[in-house]
């Protein structure tokens, strides 16, 4: 029972991606199969629209931000398979504390970037409000959202600059089980 993915990935590519991401060769082949099924143009790359056809992303209030993460380091408006696997490795469950390829810090850095809309290394009240709007839409009043943003900023902001740095973000989520909340068991 051969499939297209096993024919397209060479052994050395599988080994290299395994070393870079921690995915097993079998998982990489399954990701390749998923990638090729999303690649409607059959050109070896995915566009933003290809990602937004994924039902789980299409219904996710932060779907656009998650898709943005795939294109953050892309040199063009398309993502190749290697970039696809590297981003997905952020969501690979952490195997142990020494897992250097997929650490708690990497997961937190990804989450931080979902809020840091202007990519300046800080989460401002305006950015927090924008993300809250994405998450809840019009279900909460502007006043309530503003209050939530103010409280969140003031609780996490330890240096008094009215913004949340990456370190303050990490400190605020110290007791959160990031390993569980930011892992997708899509390849078990």
**Per residue in 86-144, pLDDT tens?**
888 888 877 765 666 678 888 899 899 999 999 999 999 999 999 999 988 778 899 99
Please provide residue 160's backbone torsions phi and psi, each rounded to the nearest 5 degrees. 75, 20
pTM, 2 dp: 0.77
Q: Locate 104 and state its tokens.
A: 């708690």
Please give the share of the chain, as a percent, with pLDDT higher than 90: 38
Give the whole-angstrom CA distance, residue 25 versus residue 68: 27
Helix or strand run (H / E) with residue 46: strand 45-47
Domains and CATH numbers, the chain: 11-91 (1.10.238.10), 104-181 (1.10.238.10)
| Burial of 19 (C-beta count, 10 Å sphere; 0-12/13-18/19+) | exposed
Q: Are 158 and 168 in contact (CB under 8 A)?
A: yes
């Amino acid at each position: 029972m051969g499939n297209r993915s096993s024919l397209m990935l060479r052994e050395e590519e599988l080994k290299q991606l395994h070393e870079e991401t921690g995915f097993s060769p079998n998982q990489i082949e399954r990701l390749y199969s998923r990638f090729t099924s999303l690649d409607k143009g059959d050109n070896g790359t995915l566009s933003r629209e290809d990602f937004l056809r994924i039902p789980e992303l299409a219904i996710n209030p932060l779907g656009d931000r998650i898709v943005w993460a795939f294109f953050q380091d892309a040199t063009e408006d398309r993502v190749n398979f290697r970039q696809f696997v590297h981003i997905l490795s952020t969501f690979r469950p952490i195997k142990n504390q020494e897992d250097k390829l997929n650490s708690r810090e990497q997961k937190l850095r990804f989450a931080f970037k979902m809020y840091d809309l202007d990519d300046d290394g800080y989460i401002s009240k305006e950015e927090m409000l924008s993300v809250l709007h994405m998450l809840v839409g019009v279900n909460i009043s502007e006043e309530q959202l503003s209050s939530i943003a103010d409280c969140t900023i003031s609780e996490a902001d330890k240096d008094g600059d009215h913004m949340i740095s990456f370190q303050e973000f990490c400190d605020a989520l110290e007791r959160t089980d990031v390993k569980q909340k930011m892992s997708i068991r899509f390849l078990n």
